[in-house]
Amino acid sequence: MNTLAHTTLGAPAAPAAGHPDRAPLYGAVDAAPAARPIPFLTRLRHPFARREPTVKPLIRKYRLWPALEFAYDEMLREFGSVRVRMRVSGFEERFPYVWIDLRVPSEDIDLMIQLEDRLREQVSDRLGDDTSLRVSITVDPDPDYLPLFA
């Protein structure tokens, strides 16, 4: 039997409700690109053409908030500041997932590769393979942090 409490599973807490440090994460979800409309000629040829999903419904449908918050919190703890971008990918292959790009203040590419691998492994271990297949985590240098001349 469903209860009202079950309808909010996977929804994030409000940023002001105890997690003000996660405001950039919630802002990245709101700033993610919206679905593009299906062109008229495509609708005529393919009346049941699927519209590209957006980030918010995928997060809700697959309950991805714990994975996104975990990855963000880990990078925040490691580097102190993180910029976040999100978008939907994999729609062309009929397997959409949320791509989250974490920009951190570091220049060490080897470290970033290790962090990506570690985050993906921990998300898979903690939250299961279903979640890890629906989230792609990348860690990249923050262009605002990098010096202009080395």
Residue 73 has a pLDDT of 93
What is the C-alpha radius of gyration for the chain, rounded to an integer number of angstroms? 17
Judged by DSSP in three states, 63 sits in coil
* Per-residue pLDDT reduced to its tens digit, 48-67: 666 677 889 889 988 999 99
**Cβ-contact 126, 69 below 8 angstroms:** no
Q: Name the strands in the sheet holding 83-89, side by side, starting at the edge strand that comes first in the sequence.
A: 83-89, 97-104, 135-141
pLDDT tier at 71 (50, 70, 90 boundaries)?
A: very high
Model pTM score? 0.73
According to CATH, the topology of domain 50-145 is Alpha-Beta Plaits (3.30.70)
Q: Tell me the pLDDT tens digit for each residue of 3-18.
A: 444 444 444 544 444 4
Residue 67 backbone phi and psi in degrees, to 5: -70, -45
- Reported as a single tens digit per residue, the pLDDT across 16-38 is 444 667 888 888 888 888 766 66
Q: What is the pLDDT of residue 2?
A: 44
Instruction: Delimit the domains of the chain by residue range.
Output: 50-145
Percent of the chain clearing pLDDT 90 (strictly above):
29
